[in-house]
Structure 1
């Protein structure tokens, strides 16, 4: 199924575009580029959580636990979606999988899954990326590959509910953002 077919139900450019996918797939970098192309606001869900909680995401995980974090994440997501301006929101890798967030995002706008293989993800994640992500921290490259493959298998059913799936591996940020923009604009003009 082509991306234009998947998005054919859109009649106008969506006010909210949610980017989903695994850690390291490029949601934030593609999101910034896409927001610029669409001339709208870019938001990062992790940043919104940090502002809401007064703590960095790793600290929320460590001090309050994953269940608390997921509830805070769902709250920040819903507050962002309620904003009046048009926006592109980069979500956390696990956000679609908890608190009925994926269904909520689908109901609020366009959802875009930036798809990469586990090997592509490992190649993209830097040591500082890993230290800033509590679930990826302190893993060897082999452990990281196994963890990402297992996690992707669990999350893929949620990610696949997106209105657009984009293979983001081996392509630069402007190219990926341009493809998403063209699909959104093409679907809106039908």
Structure 2
């Protein structure tokens, strides 16, 4: 079983993913980290040296490699991953997709506390520019995110509470095989 966490940058996919994986006894993986290992360079370097199209193809390759793993995995995807290369449909066919939803303002509040230089599409934006960019990008991406089996409001809740909400959603889904998640 694979659980794919999707949503905008800063929505908590990595933080919640680690908590959820620990609670379920799954392996936690981060798609950006896998791309970096696969490509031998950081995500910003891939963007700068190869371009966004190449990055999206590398991301799709890394995603497909995760699907072939025999272990149970919680994967934090990149914010754009579901929107390219048929990735959302692929994830839906390979496991369970969970959308961690936040408003653009909640995203800005979280992201302005982080170092945005590691995020190629967000760096060098002022808070008003960041809000505008996130609102426009969310509007474009939400058609993909909303295809998820579960949608969880990630707002101000701590990661443990969000992980519990995901578990509750998963418990309400038809179970595979032996009835365990």
When normalised by structure 1's length, the TM-score is: 0.90
Note the residue ranges of structure 1 that are not aligned, 5 or more in a row. 1-14
2:41 aligns to what?
55
Q: How does 1:82-121 map to 2 (within 5 A)?
A: 82-121=68-107
- What are the Cα deviations for residues 11-52 of structure 1, in whole angstroms up to 9, with x where unaligned? xxxx10000000000000000000001101000000000000
Instruction: Please give the root-mean-square deviation of Cα atoms over the aligned residues, in Å.
Output: 1.3
Could you tell me which residue of structure 1 aligns to residue 160 of structure 2?
174
Partner of 2:150: 164
Quote the Cα distance in structure 1 between the aligned partners of 2:124 and 2:134: 14
Give ranges in structure 2 of 5+ residues lacking alignment: none
Maintained 8 Å contact 2:112/2:127: no
TM-superposed CA distance for 1:131, in Å, is: 1.0
Deviating 4+ runs (over 4 angstroms)? none
If asked which structure has higher relative contact order (CA below 8 Å, sep 6+), I would say 1
Determine whether 1:69 maps to 2:55: yes
Q: How many residue pairs align between the two structures?
A: 176
SS at structure 2 position matched to 1:142: helix
Q: Which residue of 2 aligns with 1:9?
A: none
What is the TM-score of this pair, normalised by structure 2? 0.94
Report Cα offsets for 1:138-164 as digits up to 9, x if no partner: 000000000000000000000000000
Tell me how far apart the structure 2 counterparts of residues 150 and 186 of structure 1 sit (CA, whole Å).
Answer: 32
Contact residue 83 and residue 141 of structure 2 kept, 8 A: yes
Among candidates 124, 132, 149, match of residue 135 of structure 2: 149
